[in-house]
Amino acid sequence: MNDLTVVILAAGLGTRMKSRKAKVLHEAGGLTLIEHVVASALQLARPDGVIVVVGHQAEQVRARVAGRGVRFVEQTEQLGTGHALIACREAAGSARGDLVLLYGDGPLLSANTVRRLIEQRRASGAAAALITTKLEDPAGYGRAITGGKGRVLAIVEDKVATPEQRDICEINSGIYCFDAALLWKHISEIQPNPVSKEYYLTDIVEILNRAGHEVRAMLHPDATELLGINTRVELAEVDRIFRERRCRELMLAGVTIERPETVTIDTAVEVGMDSVIEPFARILGTTHIGENCRVGAGSVLRNVRVASRVAIAPYTVIEESVIEADVTIGPFARLRPGSHVHAAAHIGNFVELKNTRMGAGARAGHLAYLGDSEIGSDVNVGAGTITCNFDGAVKHRTSIGEGAFVGSNSTLVAPLEIGPGSYVAAGSVVTQAVPADALAIGRSRQTNKDGWAKQRRERQQRSS
């Protein structure tokens, strides 16, 4: 929209969160609260039209939304919502058009609702419009004193409301659209509250009315969209709503989610059609999953790219890795950052990969640790194989050539190269390069002592 400035208040600590971390840095739906609100603002205005008021842990809050082109204003002392908006006066520049105010602690609000608010203000010619809603329990919120025909005469804060005013269930959501010129003309009339010494932005409603202007309420039926987070109880509730929304969107787009109330899927996650998500899966960050995949019960995926037809069996943990098509993984596998599993490879139970490339069709079926390794296509890694990639000071690489067969319980001491098509005998400790197509045996030869066990038993019987 043209001539639109969006101000986001995010300077408060959020005392009721009982946290050392600023409130807007807490997460719901896999993103910090400030990221959600900035994303909505950017659907409404150009990046340089968005101003974020920061205060508590300003650097961390800035860092969270850096690179999106929004501007910041520092409010060094948090003297109230009115004071926070006054701090933006210079940054807001030309006093033209509309100014929308959003709160950093209200992440569920949709850009469409704000668009309707702006349209209502413009159409009515009011000095300001604000979103209200009716709550069964309005405790803690500012109450709207209405004057009929959608007019608001004043907002009374809970702390200073009379018992009769406390009974009003139409509350102030804290989201406003102002005629910017009138806002800046009158904002300095806000006086500190005699009791709390805070500058309440809500006082502007009465001030505008007194100056002969109209303030309108847009009564919004969906109170959940307006939920402001003040405590961890509300944080959990908002998180649940985000999860539910994403699950619903994915299900409507063709993803089967078993027991959706148990899974955790972050807002930015994508899942392709006909994929199945089993109960208690956690799919986090920027994970992308292709079509016809299965994510097993209790699995955790963070920032993973998964192609199509990949089967991830239960209780598998994968982070920062790439999985190509037709791969099978787990149950109980762990893929640590930097792993890349090529098409149709198989990673079985209790196998750990770290910073390892597993070639197409390669297999590691059971109980292995493969770290800092290049594993060629169609390699077979036997059960219990361990790459010794760390010498106590430095990490070293292991490379296993295409089609090699590594026998069970091999100890591969890196740096090490195992040639293509070679064999490593089970139980070997391999410390030297293995040439292509060779057999490496790195263990002592077995000796059998005939009759030894029988003789021992007889000795024991005689002495007892």
**317 near ligand UD1, judged by CB under 6 A:** no
Question: Binding partner of residue 330 among Ca ion, ligand UD1, none, CB under 5 to 8 Å per kind?
Answer: none
**75 near ligand UD1, judged by CB under 6 A:** yes
Q: Which residues contact 193 (CB under 8 A, 6 or more apart)?
A: 80, 157, 160, 199, 200
**40 near ligand UD1, judged by CB under 6 A:** no
CB of 90 or CB of 450, closer to ligand UD1: 90
Interface size with ligand UD1, residues (CB under 6 A) = 28
One of 26, 36, 342, 366 is an active-site residue; which one?
366
366 has catalytic annotation: yes
| Chosen residue from 30, 49, 107, 142 binding ligand UD1 by CB under 6 A | 142
Identify the DSSP state of 395: B
Q: For residue 184, which amino acid is it?
A: W
**35 near ligand UD1, judged by CB under 6 A:** no
Question: Binding partner of residue 80 among ligand UD1, Ca ion, none, CB under 5 to 8 Å per kind?
Answer: ligand UD1
Positions in the binding site for Ca ion (CB under 5 A): 228
DSSP 211-223: TT--EEEEE-S-G
Q: Give the count of beta carbons closer than 10 Å to the beta carbon of residue 86.
A: 18
**57 near ligand UD1, judged by CB under 6 A:** no
Determine the residue with CB nearest ligand UD1: 142
**200 near ligand UD1, judged by CB under 6 A:** yes
Question: Binding partner of residue 104 among ligand UD1, Ca ion, none, CB under 5 to 8 Å per kind?
Answer: ligand UD1
Q: What are phi and psi of 30, to 5 degrees?
A: 85, 5
**201 near ligand UD1, judged by CB under 6 A:** yes
**155 near ligand UD1, judged by CB under 6 A:** yes
| Chosen residue from 81, 113, 209, 299 binding ligand UD1 by CB under 6 A | 81
**133 near ligand UD1, judged by CB under 6 A:** no
> Contact region for ligand UD1 (CB under 6 A) — 73-81, 325-333, 401-409, 447-455?
73-81
Q: Which residue has the tokens 């005998």?
A: 425
CA atoms of 306 and 329, how far apart (whole Å): 11
Spell 15-53 as b/e; 16+ CB within 10 A means b. Answer: eebeeeebbbbbebbbbbbbbbbbebbbebbeeebbbbb
* CA atoms 401, 381, 311, 315: torsion sign: negative
Q: Which residues contact 67 (CB under 8 A, 6 or more apart)?
A: none
**157 near ligand UD1, judged by CB under 6 A:** yes
CA atoms of 406 and 429, how far apart (whole Å): 11
Spell 63-82 as b/e; 16+ CB within 10 A means b. Answer: ebbeeeebebbebeebbbbb
Question: Binding partner of residue 49 among Ca ion, ligand UD1, none, CB under 5 to 8 Å per kind?
Answer: none
CB of 61 or CB of 341, closer to ligand UD1: 61
DSSP 85-142: HHTTHHHH-S--SEEEEEETT-TT--HHHHHHHHHHHHHHT-SEEEEEEE-S--TTSP
**144 near ligand UD1, judged by CB under 6 A:** no
**84 near ligand UD1, judged by CB under 6 A:** yes
CB of residue 230 to ligand UD1, shortest distance in Å? 6
Question: Binding partner of residue 419 among Ca ion, ligand UD1, none, CB under 5 to 8 Å per kind?
Answer: none
| Chosen residue from 1, 39, 79, 343 binding ligand UD1 by CB under 6 A | 79
CB of 155 or CB of 250, closer to ligand UD1: 155
Q: What are phi and psi of 294, to 5 degrees?
A: -135, 130
DSSP 126-169: -SEEEEEEE-S--TTSPEEEE-STTBEEEEE-GGG--HHHHT--
**132 near ligand UD1, judged by CB under 6 A:** no
**103 near ligand UD1, judged by CB under 6 A:** yes
**178 near ligand UD1, judged by CB under 6 A:** no
| CB neighbour class for 100 (10 Å; exposed up to 12, middle 13-18, buried from 19) | buried
3-class SS of residue 180: helix
Q: Which residues contact 23 (CB under 8 A, 6 or more apart)?
A: 12, 13, 14, 17, 33, 104, 105, 229
Residues 217-246 that bind ligand UD1 (CB under 6 A): 228, 230
CB of 4 or CB of 201, closer to ligand UD1: 201
Tokens standing for residue 48: 């340089």
**Which positions from 2 to 31 touch ligand UD1 by CB under 6 A, shown as an x/- string?**
-------xxxx-------------------
CB of residue 267 to ligand UD1, shortest distance in Å? 20
CB of 191 or CB of 455, closer to ligand UD1: 191
Instruction: With CA atoms as reference, report the closest residue to 115 among 167, 68, 168, 177.
Output: 177
CA atoms of 233 and 156, how far apart (whole Å): 25
CB of 17 or CB of 277, closer to ligand UD1: 17
Q: For residue 96, which amino acid is it?
A: R
The contact set with ligand UD1 (CB under 6 A) reads 9-12, 53, 75, 78-81, 83-84, 103-105, 141-142, 155, 157, 171-174, 200-202, 228, 230
- Active-site residues: which are they? 366
